[in-house]
Each structure stands twice: as structure tokens, then as C-alpha cells.
Amino acid sequence: MRKAIYPLMAGVGTLLIGGCGSSGHSIAPAPQPKTDNSTPASLSSLVGHPQEAVLRLSRGRSTARFQITAVPHDTWDVRITAPASADFEVDALKSYGERLYLLETTHQREVCAITGTRVHCFLRFAIGANQTPGRWTVIAKKRTGPATTMRVQITFHRPGSE
């Protein structure tokens, strides 16, 4: 039995994206903010700014990944937008091997709502202060169905930054 992190519901986020259909899967780094000198921005500049990717998943059972930079935080949000007809699971793997089970299914009514043909999920996590920055690999798994795309967005917050 896996250990789940239980989200504190803060409401359902509204993200609108279009498009679907592409074969293959994607492994894409989340765009990192840059300074004027084209060097990676400081960790503090990532607080309150979403790190996201649009993932393309092939037909049938499929997995896609992207990496983000986790920053010291007290709370963090996960927003997922995908076709309502598909069923996805989303996890994160910390650089030292700990797996965070974020969303078991996009059919979770407590955190996901359907608008037209899209499902929008919003989860807020408050797991205490994370003082160790590092790379996380975000993993999206589609159980079945046609090729499709989904958007995953993670935002880290410090107290009072929301």
C-alpha cells in the first residue's frame, strides 16, 4: 500500500488550454526563469511562479515526465488540465528518491471538476517546511485511451507569498 499525501482543498483552478493528439510521449524540462545574463534565476525567484509543462502521451498506456526545481517552501499547488475522457495519475520523484503521490486519478471529484471537454484539478499541499531545494521529476501516467496532451503546473509558496 503506498503512502499518499493528502491535499488541503483550496478550490478548483481554472486553466484553459487547447489541443490534443500526438503520438509518443514527452520528457521535457520545465522552462526555468532566466536573468538578463541568461543564467538560471535564483531559487527565490521561483517562489510564486509556476513551473509547468504540456505533456504529450501516446495511445494506450503511456507515461511522460518533466523536471522542476523545488524550492524551500511551506505550501505548494498542483494544477492539472487534461481531456475529461482520459484518466491520469500524477506523482513526483524527489532527487533523493522519495516519491510523492500527488493525484491518484483525474476522476477525483474532491479536487477535479469538468468544464466542457476538459478536467481541471487543483491540489494544495501543506506538508511542512521543505528546506532542501532540488530537482523533482514530475511523472504523469495515462492508463488507457487515445493519444492526448495534458498540462501540469506546480507552484511553490512561502508563508505570506500567496
What single-letter amino acid sits at 129? A
* Residue burial 42-77, b: 16+ Cβ < 10 Å; e: rest: eeeebbeebbbbbbbbbeeebebbbbbbbbebbbbb
Nine cell digits for residue 130: 521543505
pLDDT at position 90: 97
- Tell me how far apart the alpha carbons of residues 149 and 136 are, in angstroms, rounded to a whole number: 21
DSSP state of 40: B
Q: Which of 45, 27, 21 is nearest to 35 (CA)?
A: 45
pLDDT at position 41: 55
Nine cell digits for residue 1: 500500500
Number of residues assigned to the chain: 162
Name, in order, each residue with C-beta under 8 angstroms of 132's C-beta and a sequence gap of 6 or more.
Answer: 70, 72
What CATH number does the domain located at 1-27+48-162 have?
Answer: 2.60.120.380
- In order along its 162 residues, the chain shows pLDDT tens digits of 344 443 333 333 333 223 333 334 444 444 444 333 333 457 777 888 899 999 999 999 999 999 999 887 778 899 999 999 999 999 999 888 889 899 999 999 999 999 999 999 999 987 654 667 889 999 999 998 899 999 999 998 876 655
pLDDT at position 45: 77
**Residue 128, phi then psi, degrees to nearest 5:** 90, 170
Total-model pTM? 0.72
